[in-house]
Every structure is written in C-alpha cells, then in structure tokens.
Structure 1
Amino acid sequence: MRTWLMIPLLLLTMAPVHAAEVLKGWLEWVHEVEMRVVESGVVEDVAVSAGEQVKEGDLLLRMDQREARAKLLETRARVARARVGTEKAQRELERSRELFDRGLIAIEELKDAELLQAAAVAEEEAAKAAEASAQVALERTELRAPFDGIVVARNVWNGAVIYKTLQQEPLIVVAPNRRMLARALVTANVLRRYRPGDEARVKVGGSIRAGSVYSLGVQAVRVELEGAVYYLDIIFDVKANEVLRPSETVQILSP
C-alpha cells in the first residue's frame, strides 16, 4: 500500500473519541399535589393508601355528607317553588296585557304585572344560584385524584375531625407517575452546557431511557469547594406497570 494512502487511515485511527458525559443522580417526582378539604367536618371514608395507583377522578377521601346533602335538597325545593312563582307571574302578565289591549285596565296595572314577573324571574335565578353553590359544597366533601398517578402520602384516617383552618399537613399527597425526573447536582460550568429541551439519556437499573432537559437550576443548592452547585433535571417516560421511586440512584448520560 502506498504511503500517501495510509496517512488518512492513520489520522482517523488517532482521532480522539469523545465519551458521553456521565452524571450521577437520583429520581424525583415531576411534582406533587398536596390535597386538603376546604370545609370542616368528620372524615367518613379514606379510600386509598400510600403507594396505591389511582386514575384521574378516583375517590380518595369522603367527608360526612349529610349536612351538605340536606342543604342541596333545601335549595332544590327553593328552585321548585321559585319556578312555580315565575310561571304564575308570567300567566298574570299575559292576562294583564290582554286586559290592557282591550282597554279594561290602566297602564299602571300592566306595569305592576311586569314588575311582579321580573321579580319572580330574579327569585328563580337566585334560587338556582343557591342550588349551584350547594352542589359545589357537596362536591367539596370529597377529594378525587386530579390525574393518573400514585398516592405518595396518606395522613388521615376514618373518623378524624378536620378543621379547614387547622390543616397543618395535607391529608393526601398525589404525584403523577407516568413521567419522572432524574436530578443531578452540577456546577455552573456544567450547567451551561445544557439548554431546556436538549436530548439526554437516563440509565435506570441497567436500562437506558431517552429523555430531555426539563429544567436548569437558577439558585444554588449549596456552595462546595469547587464552587456553587445547582440542580439539573432530566425528564423521561416511565414504562407501563413499572414502579420507580424517588431517591433511587440513576446515571444521566449526555449525547
């Protein structure tokens, strides 16, 4: 082989190979939702436990609903009475208009009938608003899962008396479990190499997952000898029926 043909081959062989940067990290939930009740009452049923998988809309907790249901029934009865009053006032108005057209009553009597009909309509609308408010109050006696996820913590049991102004800790904490964060502590120099949305890979239990940069730390977590360190978060999808937990160790691989 001629010498001039071997030179490019030799240069390719001697070219440096850049290995992927490896960062040690751990898992975190993307976010957690702390759930509390907005009205005081007694806990009737806690339907979930910590570690349980839930679907959006699943019942998590129910308060005693007797008072809320009674108020809802009362407002529905008020709506029914108001509707009867509106229908009666409408009939009286139509009758007054007919009599006025025939010249049998004065304009003042027609105006009075119009005012009574308007007042009846307003009373029915107020009754409907009270019914809607009572319906909301009833719905607030329950806590339901805001999304598919996992129950991270349960801090309440059946029979507990809850005061809405004295809930020092959430009753139930829920986190989405379809995606998770791989978090690492890095210096500012390392952080500058990344941009939100950049591709990255996460090695979890021997399996490598495709992910992307989710967020870059703005405030330092702490200051060490080599300088300030910040959070670098990589988001990735969790496999179906896979159970991953925060604090599990992982490796973050840059492309």
Structure 2
Amino acid sequence: MYARLLIASLLLLTLAPAQAAEVLKGWLEWVHEVEMRVVENGVVEDVAVSAGEQVKEGDLLLRMDQREAKAHLLETRARVARARVASEKAQRESDRSQELFDRGLIAIEELKDAELLLAAANAEEAAAKAAEAAADVALERTELRAPFDGIVVARNVWKGAVIYKTLQQEPLIVVAPNDRMLARALVTANVLRRYQTGDKVRVKVGDSTRAGSVYSLGVQSVRVELEGAVYYLDIIFDTKANEVLRPSETVQILFP
C-alpha cells in the first residue's frame, strides 16, 4: 500500500506543470547617448561620419575651419619664445648683480632691482605658456572626436555650415555606445517591487536569447492607466560582435 502511494505521488510531481517564467514584452534602447556640439564659432570644414556608421574612440567626427585657431597658436608660441629669452637675460643679469654685490661693487638696492626684474620676466614667461596652453585647447575644440567606441546615431550638420556656439538648438552629432543595449518594459509598481538592481534575467532578441540583468527600476511614473501608474524597467545586456541592434526593436524579457 505504501509503495503504491509513493509511486502515485511521484507521478503527480512529474506530471505537474513547471512554474512558468514571467515574460514581459519590451523594446530596445541605447544605454545612453552623447549629444556633441562645438564650443567655438566657425565654419564646418569637414564632416567625417554619417548616421549608422561605427566609430572607434578618438575617431574624427567633425572639423571646423582651423586657420584662425592655428594662427593664434603660432602667435602664442612666439610670445613664449620671446618671454623665454627675456627670462634667460634677466637670470644672467641677476647672477651678475649677485656677483658684483658679493664683491662689494654695487648696493643692495641694485641687487634687489635685478631680482625684481627676474621675477617679472619669469611671471611673463608663465603667462605666455598659459596663453599657449589655452590656444592649444581652442585648436582642439575645432574638432569633434568619438568619446568611445560606438555608433553615430544622428548627424545634423554638413560641410560649409556656419556654427554659432550659442545658437546650436540641436546637437551636430549624436553618438551612442553599441557594445551594450537596454531592453525596456513598462510595468506597474507591484511588478517593480519583485525585482532588484542586478537580478539576472534573459532577453530574447529575434531568435536568440542572451543573459542580462536588471539595470534600473523606474522612480517616476511614465503615465497613469486604468490599472494604475506604469514605470520603466530596464534590463542591460551585452551585444554580440558586429551585431547591429536598433532602438525600438521589440524583445521579450524572461524572468526566472
């Protein structure tokens, strides 16, 4: 009798349906986007990329006309050279005055005057070097370069455009990293409470499924529906090599 009850129990456990995993419908989003603008006025000389193009960190995206910036940099370098010569001359005069003072041939006032001239020359050289550094930065700012490996999301500028740094209503170029993506779903607060940042989940993209984790839990509601307020639930996952995924593609988020 006991054996029959045990066998019946095992059959019931075997035939009992496994607890189904929770499945949420969602869509893809970039992890983040970087909107790039120039910080100096000028004319666009070249745009090196187009929307959808893959870029590496440091790749040239856009170059402004650099003639004025280069001329200013040359001018500051010449100022540094003149200031260096003046500093060297003042140093020799100071050394000579010190020698004459040690021999008792000049008064202390003349020695102090030579030291003051040396200090002024050194200060002028430091100011010239600072101006050179600022000019070098200004030249760098005539170019936009990729801040990381990623994809060009948008290009809103063309060669010959006149750019005013205070009138850039939209970014010139938008770049996003594409080594990772977000799977985003709209859920109620009750669903959010069941998960924590870092919880492991799976994301089904097309016919493939890959591992992911909870990236962020919405704090402010997106909208209010009849069932109540809904929030964003974001899942982050790594993309495959040479894989091109795009925002708004539909996915499934599978919770264990």
TM-score normalised per structure 2: 0.97
Deviation of 1:124 after TM superposition, in Å, equals 0.3
- Structure 2 letter corresponding to 1:217: G
Partner deviation per Cα, 1:188-242 (whole Å, 9 max, x = no partner) = 1111111011101100011001000000111111111111111000000000100
- Structure 2 letter corresponding to 1:139: E
Q: Residues of 1 paired with 2:23 and 2:124: CA distance?
A: 69
Q: Residues of 1 paired with 2:8 and 2:99: CA distance?
A: 110
What is residue 91 of structure 2 aligned with on the other side?
90
- Structure 2 letter corresponding to 1:216: L
Partner deviation per Cα, 1:69-117 (whole Å, 9 max, x = no partner) = 0000000000000000000000001000100000000000000010000
Q: Residues of 2 paired with 1:4 and 1:252: CA distance?
A: 40
- Structure 1 letter corresponding to 2:108: I
Partner deviation per Cα, 1:164-203 (whole Å, 9 max, x = no partner) = 1110000000000000000001111111111011101100
Q: Residues of 2 paired with 1:112 and 1:2: CA distance?
A: 112
Q: Please state if 1:25 is matched with 2:36.
A: no
- Structure 2 letter corresponding to 1:109: E
**What SS class does the counterpart of residue 174 from structure 1 fall into?**
strand
**What SS class does the counterpart of residue 168 from structure 2 fall into?**
coil
Deviation of 1:17 after TM superposition, in Å, equals 1.6
What is residue 39 of structure 1 aligned with on the other side?
40
How many correspondences in the alignment?
255
1:141-152 equivalences in 2 (<5 Å): 141-152=142-153
Q: Residues of 1 paired with 2:135 and 2:214: CA distance?
A: 45
Which deviates more, 51-60 or 4-13? 4-13
Q: Residues of 2 paired with 1:96 and 1:85: CA distance?
A: 16
1:231-242 equivalences in 2 (<5 Å): 231-242=232-243
Deviation of 1:4 after TM superposition, in Å, equals 4.4
1:21-170 equivalences in 2 (<5 Å): 21-170=22-171
- Structure 2 letter corresponding to 1:17: A
Partner deviation per Cα, 1:127-148 (whole Å, 9 max, x = no partner) = 0000000000000000000000
Q: Please state if 1:9 is matched with 2:10.
A: yes
Partner deviation per Cα, 1:52-80 (whole Å, 9 max, x = no partner) = 00000000000000000000000000000
What is residue 221 of structure 1 aligned with on the other side?
222
Q: Please state if 1:251 is matched with 2:247.
A: no
- Structure 1 letter corresponding to 2:241: A
Deviation of 1:9 after TM superposition, in Å, equals 1.3
Q: Residues of 1 paired with 2:84 and 2:231: CA distance?
A: 63
**What SS class does the counterpart of residue 108 from structure 1 fall into?**
helix
Q: Please state if 1:187 is matched with 2:188.
A: yes
- Structure 1 letter corresponding to 2:23: V
Deviation of 1:16 after TM superposition, in Å, equals 4.9
What is residue 177 of structure 1 aligned with on the other side?
178
Q: Residues of 2 paired with 1:108 and 1:18: CA distance?
A: 95
- Structure 2 letter corresponding to 1:192: R
Runs of 4 or more above 3 Å deviation: none
Q: Please state if 1:206 is matched with 2:203.
A: no
| Structure 2 residues without counterparts, runs of 5 or longer | none
TM-score normalised per structure 1: 0.98
- Structure 2 letter corresponding to 1:186: V
**What SS class does the counterpart of residue 101 from structure 2 fall into?**
helix
